[in-house]
Amino acid sequence: GWKDAMNTTIINFNNEKMQITWGTRELFPNENVSFFYTFDEGKHKVWKPCTTYLLDQDYNSGCLFKTEGPTLAISIRNSNGSEELFSKKLKSDFYIKPNRPENVTFFWKEDTVTVRCNKPERAARCLRLEFQYKSKFDKEWQSRTSKCCSVDEQGFDPRKCYSFRVRLRRLVPYCNVVNYSSDWEAETFWMNGTLLDSCDDDITSQSNIVIVLSCLLAVLLTMLILLILLCKWQRVQMSVLPTVPDPKYLFADLFNDHNGNLQEWLDKNDHVVLQTKPEYEEPESITEAESQQEDEKSSEKQGPLEKIFTFPGAAENNEGKTPEIACLIPASNTMASFAGFHILRNDDMYVML
């Protein structure tokens, strides 16, 4: 009974090569067994010895040989082949492991990706094309399976980088008794229909963009802060240290016409003042003469008026006549006329009426 329960692993590589392995150390720890096989179905079978053994610590643990038919019989014997230790008959077509898909292509249309590969020459109906993908933000693979040899998948973001891989799977239990799949085709990296060397390139480019934008933002913020500080500093400077006016704007002719020669400028200005004085004194003299004539006329009509002079005791006698006394503050060095009298007065003089 233990011979029938012996654990063996049978793989038919794309119906081209067979690989049979067994547990040598568990079943035959101290014996190096031999292996025989045949694809004949009649009574007169021709057993072929294994020419390519798989070793496990110098003990035979498996055999690799060419696939020659759909029906296979195997026999494990002792080292000299005189005693059979295990035998089994099987269908080699139920243990097929397909090869990797060939000529895989990816077609992009907006957010849809179509994956295609070459159709195998034999048993394509027993195969399924498995398509797996994930973005740099996904931890696990997303899977999509369809008939051989085309599969469509939607929902791809053109701004993301994706990893793609494909393989062929053998249908169970209709075509295989063991769920065998091919090895994965080489992983590829895509972004919006463009093949990349890796998604790290996309991350690097995005990080570079982020760095550039961050630097530009920092520069703009620095310029804004400096501008604000400059405006505030100008306000503080104006309030604490008021601006001293530039004399060249107040005395433009001194600097423009005389090159800062003060004496020359004063001489010229004195000449200008002397020339301009008669123009302004003439109206005053005319007005003064007219006022004298009017005073004379009024004096003739009113008669001689009493000339009043102020004596030290006058103030005491006129205390009760305060409303009738006025104190006139004349301009400096001007001529005052009153009732026919002409009085020249300066800043230190005053007249009491």
pLDDT in tens, 124-168: 899 999 999 999 888 899 999 999 889 999 989 888 899 999 999
pLDDT band for position 29 (cuts 50, 70, 90): confident
β-pair type (96-97, 8-13): parallel
Cα 195 to Cα 53, 130, 143, 183, 192: the distances in Å are 43, 20, 20, 22, 9
What pLDDT is recorded for position 95?
94
- Which one has a higher pLDDT value, 91 or 271? 91
The highest-confidence range among 108-112, 237-241, 337-341, by mean pLDDT, is: 108-112
* pLDDT at 12 exceeding the cut of 90: yes
What pLDDT is recorded for position 315?
43
What pLDDT is recorded for position 54?
92
**Lowest pLDDT segment from 59-73, 235-249, 292-306:** 292-306
Cβ atoms < 10 Å from Cβ of 175: 15
Cβ atoms < 10 Å from Cβ of 79: 12
What pLDDT is recorded for position 24?
73
100-196 is a CATH 2.60.40.10 domain: yes
- Which one has a higher pLDDT value, 164 or 322? 164
pLDDT band for position 278 (cuts 50, 70, 90): very low
What pLDDT is recorded for position 106?
92
pLDDT band for position 242 (cuts 50, 70, 90): low
Which ranges of the chain does DSSP label H, i.e. alpha helix?
24-27, 199-240, 247-250, 252-256, 262-302, 314-317
What pLDDT is recorded for position 39?
93
pLDDT band for position 333 (cuts 50, 70, 90): low
* CATH placement of domain 8-96: 2.60.40.10
Percent residues over pLDDT 70 in the chain: 66
The mean of the pLDDT values for the chain is 76
What pLDDT is recorded for position 282?
47
What pLDDT is recorded for position 193?
87
CB 6 within 8 Å of CB 26? no
- Which one has a higher pLDDT value, 102 or 352? 102
As a whole number, mean pLDDT of residues 96-123 equals 91
CB 127 within 8 Å of CB 169? yes
One-letter identity of residue 105: T
pTM for the full model? Answer: 0.54
pLDDT band for position 292 (cuts 50, 70, 90): low
As a whole number, mean pLDDT of residues 310-322 equals 44
What pLDDT is recorded for position 345?
56
Which tokens sit at 58?
């110098």
pLDDT band for position 340 (cuts 50, 70, 90): low
In the chain, how many H helices and how many E strands? 6, 21
Give the residue from 122, 175, 119 showing the smallest Cα distance to 147. Answer: 119
